[in-house]
């Protein structure tokens, strides 16, 4: 199965045994839902098995060999992941359980303590609920006002509107790096500059960006960058939060307990060093170690190559879909940079019906509002079908998607 001229997809697919699964007898899996959760290569699965067979132990709490081995591997995983996004030191990388928890950590530890009435939080109209709902609730609790940068007809941010609402009252901007519905790649660096000139901070949601494109948090000049392991060939239950050390250093933790403390008396407590002061309790030790292995795997293949591969499949999908009368595609048009996903609708049937019928052919897509209810209301639709790609997908799989849609058109005509 050929993917493109960019990646050796046939070789890569051999690393992912789940791709050989038949969803029903005689019906092979065509997995086009990596924006929700990607699959995990053998090397990461073996890492998880090796951890539980050879070094499974709690960290920072024992002087025996297993504990010390687990501690070393877990701390080295922090080093790997901060390097993965272009940060400097281990102190800048906090392990959480998801992108959602990473955003909530900033909102609770920084937002609740720093924001007040008169302050402004900037979001975009394409935000995932992980950001939108979180900052919406923080605004209600603190009195801060939430404003949204509008999107234009092509699904990109209206930068003139951004200039209008980013002013001296802005304390925080939280925005998706790549939209999980539109595929739009937002100008994070440009927006960061605008916000910083007005004295605010920037949090980028990299859930759809970090798995497929090289990330350099220093080049983007963001104060926080959040992403998840399960979308980048890693295990579930592990997320990352990069934060500038000088900001994390003065933030208070929002979870308390073991591990995150330095000294405790009956009257008071003091906090551990970074990053441990934000990792209360037993952390996701195995998941963190396995995520570092996934990052190594992706870097060996090349994030820039993965990004171009995913974009190529998206463009091929869009060109094919536009041959269907009444097909509507959302996000930047063909020829413009976009993430490795395509959200679309047909005149009939509803998105959920399309995804359900495609599943009969073994084609796994996602249908619904993709945790972006306000965006779908803005677009005037109740849902979309989303086909999303990763390093193991091929042009032939796109052809199978298009063939499935042809059958759906025949059924409903």
Q: What is the pLDDT of residues 59-116, one digit of tens each?
A: 998 889 999 999 999 999 999 999 999 999 999 999 999 999 999 999 999 999 999 9
- Domain 9-41+302-412 fold is 3.90.1150
User: Model pTM greater than 0.95?
Assistant: yes
Q: What average pLDDT score do residues 280-291 get?
A: 96
Contacts of 1 (CB under 8 A, 6+ apart): 9, 10, 13, 394, 396, 397
CA distance 299 to 289: 16
pLDDT of residue 413: 79
As a whole number of angstroms, the distance between CA 166 and CA 88 comes to 29
Cβ proximity of 328 and 303 under 8 Å: no
Average pLDDT over residues 304-328: 96
Identify the architecture of domain 45-300 in CATH: 3-Layer(aba) Sandwich (3.40)
Query: If you average pLDDT over residues 311-337, what whole number do you get?
Result: 95
Q: CATH 3.90.1150.10 region(s) of the chain?
A: 9-41+302-412
Count of alpha carbons within 13 Å of 18, Cβ hemisphere only?
A: 12
Q: CA 294, CA 350: separation in Å to the nearest integer?
A: 36
**Active site (catalytic) residues:** 371
State yes or no: pLDDT of 2 exceeds 80: no
Pick from 353, 343, 338: which is nearest to 321 by CA?
A: 343
Residues constituting the chain: 413
**Start-to-end C-alpha separation, the chain:** 32
Per the CB < 8 A criterion, the answer to whether 171 and 200 are in contact is: yes
Specify the DSSP element, H or E, that contains 193.
helix 188-197
Please give the average per-residue pLDDT across 269-286, as a whole number: 95
DSSP one-letter code for 161: H
Q: Tell me the pLDDT band of 146, cut-offs 50, 70 and 90.
A: very high
Contact status, residue 242 vs residue 89, Cβ threshold 8 Å = no
Has residue 3 got a pLDDT over 60? no
Mean predicted confidence (pLDDT) in 310-325: 96
Task: Report percent pLDDT > 90 for the chain.
Answer: 95
What pLDDT score was predicted for residue 221?
97
Domain with CATH 3.40.640.10 in the chain: 45-300
pLDDT at 1: 45
Report the phi/psi class of residue 362: left, alpha or beta, with left for phi > 0 and alpha for psi in -120 to 50: left
Collapsed DSSP state (helix, strand, coil) of residue 328: strand
DSSP letter at 387 equals: E
The pLDDT value given to residue 4: 62
Which has the closest alpha carbon to 408: 346, 335, 364, 366?
A: 346
Give the mean model confidence (pLDDT) for residues 28-34: 97
Cis (ω within 30 of 0) for the bond into 349?
yes
């Amino acid at each position: 199965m050929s993917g493109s001229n960019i990646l050796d997809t046939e070789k890569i697919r051999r690393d992912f045994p789940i791709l050989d699964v038949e969803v029903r007898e005689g019906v092979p899996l065509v997995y086009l839902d990596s924006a929700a959760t990607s699959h995990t290569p053998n090397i990461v699965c073996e890492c998880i098995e090796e951890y539980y067979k050879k070094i499974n132990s709690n960290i920072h709490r024992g002087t025996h060999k297993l504990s010390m081995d687990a501690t070393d591997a877990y701390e080295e995983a922090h080093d790997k992941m901060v390097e993965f996004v272009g940060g400097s030191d281990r102190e800048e990388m906090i392990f959480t359980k998801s992108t959602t928890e990473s955003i909530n950590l900033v909102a609770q530890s920084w937002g609740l303590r720093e924001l007040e009435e008169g302050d402004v939080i900037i979001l975009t109209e394409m935000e995932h609920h992980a950001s939108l709902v979180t900052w919406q609730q923080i605004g209600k609790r603190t009195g801060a006002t939430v404003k949204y940068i509008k999107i234009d007809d092509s699904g990109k941010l209206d930068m003139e509107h951004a200039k209008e609402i980013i002013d001296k009252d802005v304390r925080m901007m939280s925005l998706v790096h790549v939209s999980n519905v539109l595929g739009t790649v937002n100008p994070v660096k440009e927006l960061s500059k605008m916000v910083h000139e007005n004295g605010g901070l920037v949090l980028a949601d990299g859930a759809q960006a970090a798995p497929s494109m090289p990330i350099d948090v220093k080049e983007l000049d963001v104060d926080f960058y959040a992403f998840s392991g399960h979308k980048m060939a890693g295990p579930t239950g592990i997320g990352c939060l990069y934060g500038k050390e000088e900001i994390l250093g003065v933030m208070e933790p929002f979870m308390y307990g073991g591990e995150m403390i330095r000294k405790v008396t009956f009257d008071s407590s003091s906090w551990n060093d970074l990053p441990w002061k934000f990792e209360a309790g037993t952390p996701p030790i195995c998941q963190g170690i396995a995520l570092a292995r996934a990052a190594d795997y992706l870097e060996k293949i090349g994030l820039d190559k993965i990004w171009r591969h995913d974009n190529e499949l998206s463009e091929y999908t869009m060109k094919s879909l536009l041959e269907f009368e009444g097909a509507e595609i959302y996000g930047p048009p063909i020829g413009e940079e976009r993430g490795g996903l395509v959200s679309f609708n047909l005149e009939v049937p509803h998105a959920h019906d399309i995804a359900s019928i495609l599943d009969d052919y073994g084609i796994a897509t996602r249908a619904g509002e993709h945790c972006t209810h306000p965006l779908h209301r803005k677009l005037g639709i109740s849902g979309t079908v989303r086909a999303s790609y990763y390093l193991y997908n091929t042009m032939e799989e796109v052809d199978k998607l298009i063939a499935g849609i042809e059958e759906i058109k025949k059924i409903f005509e």
